[in-house]
């Protein structure tokens, strides 16, 4: 029994290895990017448009609206990063309905990579929006004494992001595996459906937390 | 170890590549399409607004013109009504005048006809009365009455005007005694004696029966006559009646009210 898809290794050469996490991530990338390209190849600007275009427009607009509601005024600047976070985590959970597939987000390596991306993106957007001095000064608020706590807070929330997503996704897979071994088929199906819901919730939580962190970093003090 | 750092790096790269891919093939085209559609809708809305404004302007202009037209129509209608009222009044007045004139004429005609009819009736009544009287007197004619008539004639002969008697006596022509009835020999003789005594004449007399005299007798000599007949009374009565009717008609005509104008 594998605790993480990292353990399923298809090929390795020294420290280079091709495990299930990377392979399934590529598969997700292929589906997301390929599907997007297929749909956006013939976009209509008229009132009449295809169902897929309608669906994708709804997805984009909903994400955009969520980012705006979280406090980021120029949502389209952050749409690429935050939207991709949500779509990647959501698609990774959604594809668990395919037999043999294991969600890459069930790997702590993946969630750590995503958390690191957020960890880097937050100061990057903060500096870009407010300037480096203003951004760095925010670590001294409300008093310089808070600097170590602020830095610890940055690190711990990044760790929390990674572990939360990993824990939730991994637990779903683990529970499913355990139930399969001790109970008939019907119950794991229900748990699998519940896992889908959990995955969607986690995708939302992960992306909305990242949004809030970026919003806090880019917030101009009035 | 749950974290494989090679995988972490690979997944970081994968994620950044996915971000780039989705930006390239998903977000940007979709947002561009949405923006283009919004611009198009905005342009259509602006065009619609412009058309609406133009439509509103035209509607206002139309309403203004309609209002003006309605006012003009109302004015024309009012004027026409006034003219029609005036014309109506004029026609009614004319009709009243015509009616009064025709009524006057009709009344005049009616009065005239009534008068004529009344006159005719009166005349006929009088004629009937006279005829009846003549007939009654004719029917009443008897020997005793005829004897009385002859006596009255002889008395009138005696009482006649001296000039008339002289004028009659001097006439060379024959004398004619006309009577409504056949005189007896005695009566003829009495008449001859009376003539001889009063006119001093012995000319032969010619006796003629004339029923139209109606119980009367007369002596006719060259346009002069000495007579007593009921027909004379009736003729006199007829003349008097005619005069009376004529006077009455004149009085009625003058007493009629003049027609209003």
* B14 vs A: CB within 8 A: yes
Structural contact between residues A66 and A78, judged by C-beta atoms closer than 8 angstroms: no
* B4 vs A: CB within 8 A: yes
User: If you average pLDDT over every residue of chain B, what do you get?
Assistant: 83
Residue A188 burial (CB count, 10 A): 19
Residue B127 burial (CB count, 10 A): 12
How many angstroms separate the CA atoms of A30 and A77, rounded?
24
Nearest CA to B252 out of B48, B159, B116, B76 is that of B116
Cβ contact, residue pair B7, A22, below 8 Å = yes
Indicate which of A13, A41, A44, A109 best probes the interface with B, i.e. most B CBs within 10 Å of its own CB: A109
pLDDT tens-digit series, residues B124-149:
776 777 677 767 766 766 677 778 88
* A87 vs B: CB within 8 A: yes
Structure tokens at A80: 């690429």
Q: ipTM, 2 decimals?
A: 0.92
Residues 17-36 of A with CB under 8 A from B: 17, 19, 21-22, 25-26, 28-29, 32-33, 36
Cβ contact, residue pair A36, B11, below 8 Å = no
Nearest CB to B34: which of A26, A46, A57? A57
> pLDDT above 90 covers what percent of chain A?
40
> pLDDT above 70 covers what percent of chain B?
89
Residue B174 lies in a domain: yes
Cβ neighbours of B44 in A, within 8 Å? none
What one-character DSSP code corresponds to residue B222? T
**What pLDDT, on a 0 to 100 scale, did the predictor assign at position B164?**
73
Print the domain residue range for B143. Answer: 124-252
Residue of chain A minimizing CA distance to B28:
A80
Query: What is the count of structural domains for chain B?
Result: 1
What one-character DSSP code corresponds to residue B178? E
Helix (H) or strand (E) holding A13: strand A9-13
Residue B99 lies in a domain: no
Spell out a b/e string for A195-222, using b for 16 or more CB atoms within 10 Å of the CB, else e: bbebbeebbebbbbbbbebbbebbeeee
What one-character DSSP code corresponds to residue B210? -
Residue B63 lies in a domain: no
**What pLDDT, on a 0 to 100 scale, did the predictor assign at position A222?**
47
Nearest CA to A198 out of A72, A104, A96 is that of A96
Residue B79 lies in a domain: no
**What pLDDT, on a 0 to 100 scale, did the predictor assign at position B261?**
47
Residues 111-140 of A with CB under 8 A from B: 112-114, 116-117
Three-state DSSP state, B227:
strand
What CATH number is associated with residue B185? 3.30.2320
How many angstroms separate the CA atoms of B154 and B163, rounded?
17
pLDDT tens-digit series, residues B44-75:
999 999 999 999 999 999 999 999 999 999 99
Residue B160 lies in a domain: yes
CB within 8 A of B41, min separation 6: which ones?
none
Cβ contact, residue pair B8, A112, below 8 Å = yes
User: If you average pLDDT over every residue of chain A, what do you get?
Assistant: 87
Cβ contact, residue pair A60, B30, below 8 Å = yes
How many angstroms separate the CA atoms of A88 and A95, rounded?
11
Cβ neighbours of A119 in B, within 8 Å? none
Cβ contact, residue pair A60, B27, below 8 Å = yes
Per the model's pLDDT, the better-predicted residue between A85 and A172 turns out to be A85
What are the φ/ψ torsions at residue B179 (nearest 5 degrees)?
-140, 155
Structural contact between residues A161 and A118, judged by C-beta atoms closer than 8 angstroms: yes
Give A221 to chain B, closest Cα distance, Å: 30
CB within 8 A of B138, min separation 6: which ones?
B180, B211, B214, B215
Residues 17-46 of B with CB under 8 A from A: 17-19, 21-23, 25-27, 29-34, 36-37, 40
Indicate which of B1, B5, B8 best probes the interface with A, i.e. most A CBs within 10 Å of its own CB: B8
Angle at the Cα of A147 (from A142 to A149), degrees rounded to 5? 100
Cβ contact, residue pair A60, B10, below 8 Å = no
* B2 vs A: CB within 8 A: yes
Match 């709804």 to its residue by tokens: A58
Residue B94 lies in a domain: no
CB within 8 A of B102, min separation 6: which ones?
none
Structure tokens at A41: 């190849």
Low-confidence ranges of chain B (pLDDT < 50): 260-261
**What pLDDT, on a 0 to 100 scale, did the predictor assign at position B256?**
59
Residue of chain A minimizing CA distance to B33:
A45
Instruction: Measure CA of the first residue to CA of the last residue in chain B; give whole Å.
Output: 138
pLDDT tens-digit series, residues A63-80:
999 999 988 888 989 999
Residue B104 lies in a domain: no
Cβ contact, residue pair A60, B34, below 8 Å = yes
Residue B152 lies in a domain: yes
**What pLDDT, on a 0 to 100 scale, did the predictor assign at position B257?**
57
Indicate which of A80, A83, A161 best probes the interface with B, i.e. most B CBs within 10 Å of its own CB: A80
Structural contact between residues B157 and B228, judged by C-beta atoms closer than 8 angstroms: no
pLDDT tens-digit series, residues A86-132:
999 999 999 988 888 888 988 889 999 999 999 999 999 999 988 99
What's the Cα-to-Cα distance from B155 to each of B33, B158, B190, rounded to whole Å?
A: 159, 5, 11
Structural contact between residues A75 and A68, judged by C-beta atoms closer than 8 angstroms: yes
Cβ neighbours of B48 in A, within 8 Å? none
| Mean pLDDT within A165-186 | 79
Nearest CB to B4: which of A6, A36, A45? A6
Structure tokens at A21: 């996490």
Structure tokens at A36: 């997007």
């Amino acid at each position: 029994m594998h605790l993480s898809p990292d353990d399923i290794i298809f090929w390795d050469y020294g420290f280079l290895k091709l495990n299930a996490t990377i392979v399934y991530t590529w598969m997700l990338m292929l589906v997301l990017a390929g599907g997007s390209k297929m749909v956006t190849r013939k976009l209509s600007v008229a009132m009449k448009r295809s169902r897929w275009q309608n669906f994708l427009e709804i997805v984009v607009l909903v994400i955009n609206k969520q980012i705006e509601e979280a406090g980021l005024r120029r949502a389209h600047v952050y749409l690429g990063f935050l939207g991709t976070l949500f779509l990647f985590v959501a698609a990774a959970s959604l594809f668990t309905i395919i037999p043999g597939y294991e969600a890459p987000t069930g790997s702590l390596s993946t969630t750590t990579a995503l958390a690191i991306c957020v960890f880097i993106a937050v100061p990057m957007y903060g500096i870009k929006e407010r300037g480096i001095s203003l951004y760095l000064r925010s670590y001294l608020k409300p008093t310089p004494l808070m600097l170590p706590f602020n830095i610890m807070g940055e690190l711990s929330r990044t760790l929390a992001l990674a572990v939360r997503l990993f824990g939730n996704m991994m637990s779903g897979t683990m529970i499913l595996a355990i139930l399969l071994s001790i109970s008939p088929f019907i119950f794991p199906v229900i748990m699998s459906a519940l896992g889908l819901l959990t995955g969607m919730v986690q995708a939302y939580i992960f992306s909305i937390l990242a949004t809030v962190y970026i919003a806090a970093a880019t917030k101009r003090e009035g | 170890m749950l974290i494989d750092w090679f995988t972490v790096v690979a997944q970081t790269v994968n994620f950044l590549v996915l971000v780039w891919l989705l930006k390239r093939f998903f977000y940007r085209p979709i947002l561009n399409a949405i923006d283009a559609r919004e611009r198009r809708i905005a342009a259509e809305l602006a065009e619609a607004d412009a058309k609406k404004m133009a439509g509103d302007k035209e509607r206002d202009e139309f309403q203004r013109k309609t209002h003006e037209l309605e006012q003009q129509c109302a004015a024309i209608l009012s004027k026409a009504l006034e003219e029609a009222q005036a014309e109506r009044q004029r026609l009614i007045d004319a009709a009243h005048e015509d009616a009064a004139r025709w009524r006057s004429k009709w009344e005049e005609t009616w009065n005239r006809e009534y008068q004529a009819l009344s006159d005719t009736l009166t005349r006929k009544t009088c004629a009937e009365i006279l005829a009846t009287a003549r007939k009654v007197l004719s029917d009443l004619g008897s020997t005793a009455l005829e004897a009385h008539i002859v006596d009255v004639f002889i008395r009138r002969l005696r009482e006649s005007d001296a000039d008339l008697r002289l004028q009659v006596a001097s006439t060379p022509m024959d004398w004619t005694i006309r009577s409504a009835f056949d005189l007896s020999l005695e009566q003829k003789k009495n008449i001859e004696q009376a003539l001889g005594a009063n006119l001093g004449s012995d000319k032969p007399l010619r006796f003629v029966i004339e029923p139209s005299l109606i119980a009367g007798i007369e002596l006719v000599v060259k346009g002069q006559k000495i007579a007593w007949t009921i027909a004379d009374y009736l003729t006199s009565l007829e003349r008097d009646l005619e005069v009376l009717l004529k006077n009455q008609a004149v009085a009625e005509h003058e007493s009629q009210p003049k027609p209003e104008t």
